[in-house]
Structures are given as C-alpha cells and as structure tokens.
C-alpha cells in the first residue's frame, strides 16, 4: 500500500519539477508548443497512475499503467527536444531525463509483474 502513495507523490513531484523548469525557459515560438506538450504529458502520468489505483479490474489497471508508460515515453521525447534548443539549461534537464527513465523502468516492472501473476 505504501508503494502506491510513494509513486503518486513521486509522479506529482516529477510534474512539479517539469513545470518549474519550463517556467525558466524563454517563451518563444520554438519552446512554446513543446512546453505545452510536455506539461500536459507531465501531469498525465500522475493522474493516470491515480486512476490505475482505482481500477475496476486487473485488466483496467494494466491498461492505465500502460497509458502512464506511454506518457513517460512522450515526456522523454519532449525533454530531449527542449534540451536540444535550451542547452544553457542542460544541467536542469538531466535530472528530469534521469527521473523519466527511472519511472519508465518502474512502470514497466509493474506491468510485467501484473501480467505474470496467476
């Protein structure tokens, strides 16, 4: 039970950290669209994880965790593109990219474990 709340808090903090960094970036036409996409995906991971914890079935749970995993992959995509055009903030992007990789591994493990349970 504790793991559920730890991951909820972790995904919420991840989204907050994304927002904090995005607020520091220059608001130009290149950044604007990518920032909007990233913030949407960043919040979606935690929201979908909360929904997964209220799933009506194992299949529903796996489906919602799968959505979280897809959103994490999208986050990694946008982070890398934004890093490319905001190299002056590279030291701030690296922890977010690292956290996205860790969350991807955690979510993949959750799906794998659920599918392997009889």
pLDDT value at residue 117: 77
Q: 21 lies in a domain?
A: no
112, part of any domain: yes
CATH value at residue 91? 1.20.1440.60
Task: Provide the pLDDT for residue 2.
Answer: 46
What is the domain range of residue 44? 2-16+29-116
Summarised one tens digit per residue, pLDDT across range 78-116 is 999 999 999 999 999 999 999 999 999 999 999 999 988
Structural domains in the chain (count): 1
Q: For residue range 5-48, what is the model confidence (pLDDT) as tens digits? A: 599 999 999 999 999 999 999 999 999 999 999 999 999 999 99
> How many residues does the structure list for the chain?
118
Please report whether residue 22 resides in a domain: no
- DSSP code string of 15-41: HHHHHHHHHHS---HHHHHHHHHHHHH
pTM: 0.91
Q: pLDDT per residue over 46-84, tens digit each?
A: 999 999 999 999 999 999 999 999 999 999 999 999 999
């Amino acid at each position: 039970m504790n793991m559920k709340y730890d991951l909820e808090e972790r995904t919420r903090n991840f989204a907050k950290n994304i927002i904090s960094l995005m607020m520091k970036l220059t608001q130009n036409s290149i950044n604007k669209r990518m920032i909007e996409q990233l913030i949407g995906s960043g919040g979606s991971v935690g929201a979908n994880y909360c929904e997964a914890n209220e799933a009506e079935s194992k299949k529903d749970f796996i489906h919602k965790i799968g959505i979280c995993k897809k959103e994490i992959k999208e986050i990694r995509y946008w982070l890398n593109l934004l890093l490319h055009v905001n190299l002056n903030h590279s030291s701030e992007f690296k922890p977010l990219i690292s956290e996205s990789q860790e969350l991807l591994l955690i979510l993949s493990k959750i799906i794998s474990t659920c599918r392997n349970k009889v």
